[in-house]
Amino acid sequence: MDLLDKIYEAGVVGAGGAGFPAHIKLNCKVEYLIVNGLECEPLLKTDQYIMRTHASEIIEALEKITERVEAKHIVIGIKKKYNREIKALEEAISRFNSRVKLHRFDSIYPAGDEQVLVYEVTGRVIPPGGIPLNVGAVVSNVGTVYNIYRAINDTPVTEKYLSVIGDVREPRLLKVPIGTSLKECIEACGGALSRDYDVIMGGPMMGRKIADEDVENRVITKTDGAVIVIPKNHYVVERDRRPLTHIINQAKSACIQCRFCTDMCPRHLLGHPLSPHKIMRAIALSEDSDVFKEALTCSECGICELYACPMGLSPRKVNIYLKGKLREKGIRYQNTLREVKAHEMRDCRRVPTSRLVARLGLNSYKGQIIGELQELKVSKVRIPLRQHIGVPAKPVVNAGDSVEAGQVIGRVDMGQIGANIHASISGTVDAVTGDSIVIQNAE
């Protein structure tokens, strides 16, 4: 079976982002195969664990992927401070006599942003609104590459590694079946220290905020990698609850046009035509301006709102609002630049992760000792049929069916943008709904 067929059958999607199906992404020929091992967001530990404990599997999978995409350069982006992970990868590279190179990064946010990563490794700027393929590169997360190794060996994606950190009694790494309740993951770490808490799925900058009353309904999917438990009154989550009308009114009335949001914007520093301060100025004057189209190039990294703005405004949220409005009208970004060059001051304006953590008020979690990996066994899972970009998988089982862990329970056609879904535990199908499949293990 071809590599892409194996990846498709195993249901591999991007493990560290939006969940783009790997069998479609890797159906290409490129000059650079780049692996993201930077763990872009502060505090997270999951990718470090995968690199440290599965270095050989990562390098072996990269050799197979390289044959398929015919890459001349194979590069793993990794932070300089990841000493144990670098040692493990270097030993694996030597063992396989591999061409893989390690590109060491300073601890800068957002170094793991796909466009930033590609520029640092290749020196090429991806065009505004473009993708790495536009400059001869393809990028995968280390978790994705590890899942591809498993796919090569006919093991589908049925489990996730998670960092569970923050306001919990026993911060630790978990390995859990996909579809496990978020609440069970928190309880496996001793529970939350605060009675009133929220949860951030992912990192503190770009992760999705979940109120405590919604925790019970949230399950772990293929794209999850971290759970941060945080007091409900913490700055990071409290400001996220501001209504959109309030955010826009603030933008209209309080922006002082200092342009810090633009000067520190990672996309602006790559040479993209994104100037958040101009968007903030325009929204105060009009609901219809050509400058609003620049919002379509925003990566939503959050530097503008959580680090740069001295007035506590949210250019990011304004950009998200404008993106929605533009997409409703069917407007997409059209790049008109013939050449894109990184800003000459870029190296001086990058944001140190340590400073960012302090600014976010998260220093108390920075030195948390993560316990040993715990494999969580559960008796019930609810597996969403859409854990990826594209169409949802179609159920191929019915209520009452017996299933084995690893069995296909939802399928997409090979040519579709989507991914197959597999049972993460053995048991009986309890329910098949429009968006998920529930499996119960009676043992």
CATH number of the domain where residue 82 is located: 3.40.50.11540
Judge if 303 and 185 occupy the same domain. Answer: no
- What CATH number is attached to the domain comprising 168? 3.10.20.600
Judge if 16 and 123 occupy the same domain. Answer: yes
Judge if 186 and 212 occupy the same domain. Answer: yes
| 5-41 pLDDT, tens digit each | 999 999 999 997 789 999 999 999 999 999 999 998 9
Could you give the number of structural domains in the chain?
4
Domain assignment of residue 239, yes or no: no
Q: What is the dihedral of CA 87, 92, 97, 98, to 10 degrees?
A: -90
- Structure-block tokens of residue 27: 């159906």
pTM of the model: 0.96
Instruction: Answer for the pair 16, 427: CB distance below 8 angstroms, yes or no.
Output: no
Judge if 296 and 321 occupy the same domain. Answer: yes
**What percentage of residues in the chain have a pLDDT greater than 70?**
99
Judge if 28 and 148 occupy the same domain. Answer: yes
Domain assignment of residue 392, yes or no: yes
Judge if 128 and 78 occupy the same domain. Answer: yes
Domain assignment of residue 286, yes or no: yes
pLDDT band for position 362 (cuts 50, 70, 90) = very high
Judge if 141 and 220 occupy the same domain. Answer: no
- Structure-block tokens of residue 324: 């929605």
- pLDDT tops 80 at residue 337: no
First to last CA, the chain: 36
Domain assignment of residue 246, yes or no: no
Instruction: Report the pLDDT averaged over residues 52-77.
Output: 98
Judge if 367 and 384 occupy the same domain. Answer: no
Instruction: Answer for the pair 353, 42: CB distance below 8 angstroms, yes or no.
Output: yes
Which of 295, 319, 354 represents a domain boundary (last residue)? 354
Judge if 286 and 427 occupy the same domain. Answer: no
Domain assignment of residue 240, yes or no: no
Q: Which pLDDT does position 18 carry in this prediction?
A: 84
SS3 159: strand
Average pLDDT, the chain: 95
- pLDDT tops 70 at residue 443: no
Judge if 421 and 400 occupy the same domain. Answer: yes
Does the bond joining 110 to the residue before it have cis omega, within 30 degrees of 0?
A: yes
- What CATH number is attached to the domain comprising 402? 2.40.50.100
Domain assignment of residue 214, yes or no: yes
Which domain, by its residues, includes 192?
A: 159-234+361-378
- pLDDT tops 90 at residue 339: no
Judge if 289 and 182 occupy the same domain. Answer: no
Judge if 223 and 136 occupy the same domain. Answer: no
- pLDDT tops 80 at residue 287: no
Q: Which pLDDT does position 151 carry in this prediction?
A: 98
Non-local (6+) Cβ contacts of 286 within 8 A are none
Which of 354, 389, 410 represents a domain boundary (last residue)? 354
